[in-house]
Amino acid sequence: MKKERETMVKLVKLRNEIRKRRCVSQMDELYKGGQRICAICGKSIERGYSVDHVYPRAIYKWSEKYLSRDEQNQLVDCIESDGNYVETHRDCNMAKEDTMPQIDRLYLTPEKKKELQLVEEKIHKELENYTNQKSQLLRNQNGKCIGCGCDLQEGVLRRKDPKMPRIWENACVVCHECNIKRERFC
């Protein structure tokens, strides 16, 4: 059973990697000779090219235990679809972590914004749930990081105990520094 689960996880990772590579090569084609603009900072991308999910994978990671398999598959497909990818600098992408995008503030063509709106419409319910749960957690923590106690604007959602599943009882919000330490928060 555990083996099966591990194989599943590997397959999903592989599928996502292939999608991402395909997406990079499609974008390469699309922007050949043109100027690549980072969706986050609006500057041209000369090095450190990356593609980024606008709506983060965390949305489906944190819904797995609450949706049927079909619903979950649909959600994954939508978040991994080309419509949800934008071009960014690798650094801008890393700095953003899994914070929620403000589409109006991204540097995108009107066509791309429309594509993102379609993604948003399809994942609306799960997106809303994710956002509400995360803000509720942050309120419960009095707006502070559970690791070091610093004030948080949005923070990073993660498991208190990384060995336990992604259920809301096992969730907390931490700052970037605490998140990269990868320790337990319980």
CA dihedral 102, 108, 112, 116 (to 10 degrees): -10
Could you say which of 18, 30, 118, 148 contacts Zn ion (CB under 5 A)? 148
Size of the chain in residues: 186
What contacts 136, CB < 8 A, 6 or more positions away?
none
Asked whether 119 and 54 are in contact (CB, 8 A), the reply is: yes
Could you say which of 60, 78, 89, 106 contacts Zn ion (CB under 5 A)? 89
Based on CB atoms, which residue is closest to Zn ion, 41 or 137? 41
Could you say which of 56, 83, 147, 155 contacts Zn ion (CB under 5 A)? 147
Q: Token digits for 55?
A: 């709506």
Q: Coil, helix or strand for 158?
A: strand
User: CA-CA distances (angstroms) from residue 81 to 2, 7, 93, 122?
Assistant: 29, 22, 18, 12
- Per-residue x/- marks for Zn ion, 42-61, CB under 5 A? --------------------
178 binds Zn ion (CB under 5 A): yes
CB of 60 to Zn ion, least distance (A): 25
Based on CB atoms, which residue is closest to Zn ion, 36 or 61? 36
Binding residues vs Zn ion (CB under 5 A): 38, 40-41, 89, 92, 145, 147-148, 175, 178
